[in-house]
Amino acid sequence: MMLFVKEALSSASRRRYLWVRATCGAAIPQGFLKPLLLGGFALAISGFAVAGEPDSGKLAKGEAVFMTEAVPSCSLCHTLQKTGASGAIGPDLDAMQPTYDQVRAALREGVGVMPSFDGVLDEAQMDAVATFVEHVTRQ
């Protein structure tokens, strides 16, 4: 959407108005523009903050999958400081800092000597452990 900006002075009141004319023909006076922009910015930031912090239930489930529910346990092969795991077969997850998508792909397809957990873990378990690993390696 193209925006055209026009500043006009009212000869009667000598007040300035900023009009933003969008291609749809809408005009917004200066007094309304700032709250609209700030409100949109605040919503964007608050949505980011909510999305950036997973809920504690999912993190607890992810830790349980990492430590005991996955067979074989992720902690047998991987090092992850938050859990006290010090496996030496797979990569050190604290150093690697894998993303959610990388963890999900490794769980679904396997990587190197790591077996696929597709069919061993359900989607909720894979989601929880991927969320947990990504979250704790970035703290």
pLDDT in tens, 11-30: 333 333 333 333 334 454 55
The SS3 assignment for 131 reads: helix
**Residue 53, pLDDT score:** 82
Superfamily of domain 56-136: Cytochrome c-like domain (1.10.760.10)
Q: How confident is the model at residue 31 (pLDDT cuts 50, 70, 90)?
A: low
**Domain residue ranges of the chain, discontinuous segments joined by +:** 3-52, 56-136
DSSP state of 87: -
Phi, psi torsion values for 6, nearest 5 degrees: -140, 130
DSSP conformation letters of 41-72? HHHHHHHHHHHHS--HHHHHHHHHIIIIISSS
| pTM reported for the whole predicted model | 0.63
